[in-house]
Chains A and B, each alone.
Chain A
Amino acid sequence: MEEFSVLIDALVYTRSRNEKLRLIAEYLRATPDPDRGWALAALSDGLDFPAVKSSTIRNLMKDRIDPVLWSLSRDFVGDTAETASLLWPAPDQPPSPPSVSETVELLEAMNRKSVVTELPKLLDRVDPSGRYALLKLATGGMRIGVSSRLAKTAFAQAFNVSVDEVEEYWHGLAPPYPELFAWAAEGEDPPDIDNLPTFRPFMLAHPLEETVVNLGDYAAEWKWDGIRVQLVRAGDETRVYSRSGDNISATFPELLDVLPFPAVLDGELLVRGTVQGGEEGGAASFNALQQRLGRKTVSKKMLKEAPAFVRLYDALLVEGEDLRPLPWTQRRARLEALMERLPDSHFDLSRIVEAKDFEHLAAIREGSRDDAIEGLMLKRKDSPYITGRRVGYWYKWKRDPLLVDCVLMYAQRGSGKRSSFYSDFTFGCWDGDPDAGADLLPVGKAYSGFTDEELKKLDRHVRRNTVNRFGPVRETDKSLVFEVAFDSVHESKRHKSGLAMRFPRIHRIRWDKPPHEADRVEALRALVRD
């Protein structure tokens, strides 16, 4: 655990990507199995110990510090694990740190009851840095500026293997990845994943921004506003994976017995609904899909009212054949040919958008106000299917956002990179004429869209203009206007205004604009389209 906590501290304070790669690679080479495997798991996907949650740590701290002082501290630091590591009372005994695998074993053995006595014993065995690393490891998600991809790249560098190959095997294996280390570090045979329904990392797109492409080289498709999924069948099992590689099969049981042959397919999961997505066809708005997300079980009623289907974009593997090295045009032809073997109850094909030239395409994009469309995708016709974002192959060209002027009402401190700054903002619109005494109604919340420099100014504004405090929430004097950008707005019973914005972010801070000139709730309601 000592070497691991030294690594974690070094990573926290390292800016350079190359230096991070070097630090992780060095650790992986120098550390024995299975410690390094557990460490790699902690750095990449995170480990999950059901008995240890943030709330567990909060409860442990309640016996050791006044709850008000705890929550003020937690609020300032923005991270439960770090706050606890700083406030944990120094133990009487000298440290006797366990190894990473011993730590994992002990954490795995804990249940909701025993964690109350066992976790403190473990915390008393390590120094403050060790406590930080231990709590981060125990609660999953290190949030120390190391992405899963970076950890895998470091693994590849450490043992001089290709990171694409690591990705390929990764999702078929489980921590502490003995097969992966045996292959990469000891030169044994690569892990066998052919008969497993494993996730293959997605090919992603860059935002188009100012780029102009030649439509001779690129094909255009609609970018559908659902969730990107990968449907995988190997042997008799079919699974649905989300963009991040989470297995979400249980949420969409209707898709688990409709793929008649082994394959890996890439598409957009959408639901059919009472509100149809215009002439482009058959999909309800994201709002309807949202009702189905995140559920562990699905009611019959839901399956009937909002059945899911997949609008296909691409085919990666079909009946044992790897199509990924082929150019997009050939994969597309194979996909089109596959359609007649797929039931149209659960599959359709994302159609190609035909345009004479780039200006024509821009005009088509402008005209698309269909609710299930987020914008356009541009795919280079000769592009192979490659993991991650590669410049020049795929572009996403989203519709321009909608804008509304709102007034800052409440602020809360953020976490992670934004910790200890007031960075989560709730804003409102006027419920009538502000000059005639109308009030503000909250319409949304945003915590992005500003620079670090602006964040500092916003933090100062909040601290200097607080009129009320509700626990960690500060109410401000409603003197600051935000121009808020968002993708769409929907009716919602959850908010007092009756409206919910999709993906709101701060577009501009209008330090200059008087608050009574901000928009009214009616103006926002007029933008509802379903």
Chain B
Amino acid sequence: MSAPFSWIKPEPHGIYIPPADCWVDPSRAVGKALVTHGHADHARGGHGETVATPETLAIMELRYRTGAEDDAGEIPHKAVPVEYGETIRLKGDVDATYIPAGHVLGSAQILLAHAGERVIVTGDYKRREDPTCPPFEVTPCDIFITEATFGLPLFTHPPIEDEMAKLLDRLAAHPDRCVLVGAYALGKAQRVIAELRRAGHREPIYLHGAMEKMCRLYEEHGVDLGELRLVSDYTKDDMRGAIVVSPPSALNDRWSRRLPDPITAMASGWMRVRQRARQRNVELPLVISDHADWGELTRTIKEVDAQENWITHGREDALLRWCQLHQRRARALALVGYDDEDD
């Protein structure tokens, strides 16, 4: 019999499963990849075969054209869809089950089982309600591999209703201006729009061109975003008193000059720290994140109650310390290539 958990190997470029000869969220192109969700630092293009939820596969198709034909008229990439709750058998008697992670549309934790041992790779997750995806499900396992993007006790994301109220109040106070909200193009943008609708905002919302296709994809998957308009189709005057959503990179870009005196807002968990908001020239910080905050991370570790916790990408030192203080076994994995700047 081989040593416990020798079938799962954290490598710098992802988590490798030797008996199945495949990787979870590899940060470079590999033969076979299991992908937790569609964000670029988890889902890279160029794999030979990708196993993911149908939503994640659709997102990857949109971003990397993974469904494109080669010169011989064949599609070289093999897409293997797995529904939430479904288990597929991989080579070497490894089972993979996809479980909702509550992060973005299609996001999943992957439960890997082999020789009676169970390992969960969370990818990214949150525990808050999100109208654009099903909630995180607590699932028992032996090793819990958790993210730690907001793994510091100072990160407490406030209720999203408060942040929406802040945004709508500011909009109402400046009917001649617009509020430009910087939000990550996949997930955050659609969640902000859906939450605005839930808060009763019925006006058209204007989009930066780079967000259109992803919003349409969300709508095709049953997420109602209300009336969306492209900034490029309208004039400055049309957008007075309106909300405009753009990728964070466009906030201080020349592009924003076409807007009517925009109030710069940014939807990100980093906005909790004043200096972070200042560094990005943000006037209206909205503390909204698709990642678990400190309370959610520690609560999840307690609820999952695994024998061992492996902590990846983010501020792993503090979460490691917390585990130590609470007599929970933990180690930090040094994975490279995960970028948390805009979350």
Q: A82-B273, A82-B274 are in contact. Are A69 and B279 (CB under 8 A)?
A: no
B278 contact set on A, CB distance < 8 A: 12-13, 145, 417
> Could you mark each residue 79-93 of chain A with 1 if its beta carbon is under 8 Å from any beta carbon of chain B, else 0?
100110011000000
Decide if A343 is an interface residue (CB 8 Å cutoff).
no
A79 x B154 contact (CB < 8 A): no
Interface size on A, residues (CB 8 A): 28
> Could you mark each residue 438-474 of chain A with 1 if its beta carbon is under 8 Å from any beta carbon of chain B, else 0?
0000000000000010000000000010000100000
A72 x B281 contact (CB < 8 A): no
Q: How far is the CB of A413 from chain B (nearest CB, A)?
A: 11
A86 contact set on B, CB distance < 8 A: 154, 156, 272-273
Q: How far is the CB of A400 from chain B (nearest CB, A)?
A: 32
> Could you mark each residue 58-69 of chain A with 1 if its beta carbon is under 8 Å from any beta carbon of chain B, else 0?
000000011011
In-complex Cβ contact of A69 among B156, B272, B283, B318 (8 A) = B318
In-complex Cβ contact of A15 among B152, B275, B283 (8 A) = B283
A76 x B152 contact (CB < 8 A): yes
A76 x B275 contact (CB < 8 A): no
Decide if A78 is an interface residue (CB 8 Å cutoff).
yes
Q: How far is the CB of A15 from chain B (nearest CB, A)?
A: 6
Q: How far is the CB of B337 from chain A (nearest CB, A)?
A: 9
| Tally of contacts, chain A with chain B, CB under 8 A | 68
Q: How far is the CB of A17 from chain B (nearest CB, A)?
A: 14
A13 x B277 contact (CB < 8 A): yes
Decide if A420 is an interface residue (CB 8 Å cutoff).
yes
CA distance A322 to B279 in the complex (A): 44
B273 x A72 contact (CB < 8 A): no
B154 x A83 contact (CB < 8 A): yes
A14 contact set on B, CB distance < 8 A: 283
CA distance A129 to B278 in the complex (A): 16
Decide if B315 is an interface residue (CB 8 Å cutoff).
yes
A73 x B154 contact (CB < 8 A): yes
Decide if A376 is an interface residue (CB 8 Å cutoff).
no
CA distance A76 to B282 in the complex (A): 19
Give residues 1-60 of A contacting B (CB, 8 Å): 12-15
From B272, B283, B285, name the one whose CB has the most chain A CB atoms within 10 angstroms.
B283
CA distance A416 to B276 in the complex (A): 10
Decide if B75 is an interface residue (CB 8 Å cutoff).
no
> Could you mark each residue 89-106 of chain A with 1 if its beta carbon is under 8 Å from any beta carbon of chain B, else 0?
000000000000000000
CA distance A68 to B274 in the complex (A): 22
CA distance A68 to B325 in the complex (A): 10
CA distance A416 to B273 in the complex (A): 11
Q: How far is the CB of B327 from chain A (nearest CB, A)?
A: 14
Q: How far is the CB of B102 from chain A (nearest CB, A)?
A: 24
In-complex Cβ contact of A77 among B154, B277, B279, B322 (8 A) = B154
Identity of the chain A residue whose Cβ is nearest the Cβ of B282 in the assembled complex: A13
A77 x B273 contact (CB < 8 A): yes
A69 x B274 contact (CB < 8 A): no
A65 contact set on B, CB distance < 8 A: 153
> Could you mark each residue 148-168 of chain B with 1 if its beta carbon is under 8 Å from any beta carbon of chain A, else 0?
000011101000000000000
Q: How far is the CB of B285 from chain A (nearest CB, A)?
A: 7
Q: How far is the CB of B208 from chain A (nearest CB, A)?
A: 21
A82 x B275 contact (CB < 8 A): yes
Q: How far is the CB of B116 from chain A (nearest CB, A)?
A: 36
With A419-B275, A419-B279 given, name 7 new contacts (CB 8 A): A13-B277, A13-B283, A15-B281, A69-B152, A69-B322, A417-B278, A420-B276
Q: List 14 A-B contacts (CB under 8 A).
A: A14-B283, A68-B321, A69-B321, A72-B315, A73-B152, A76-B315, A82-B274, A82-B275, A86-B154, A87-B153, A417-B279, A419-B279, A420-B276, A452-B279
Residues of B within 8 A of A (CB): 152-154, 156, 272-279, 281-285, 315, 317-318, 321-322, 325, 336
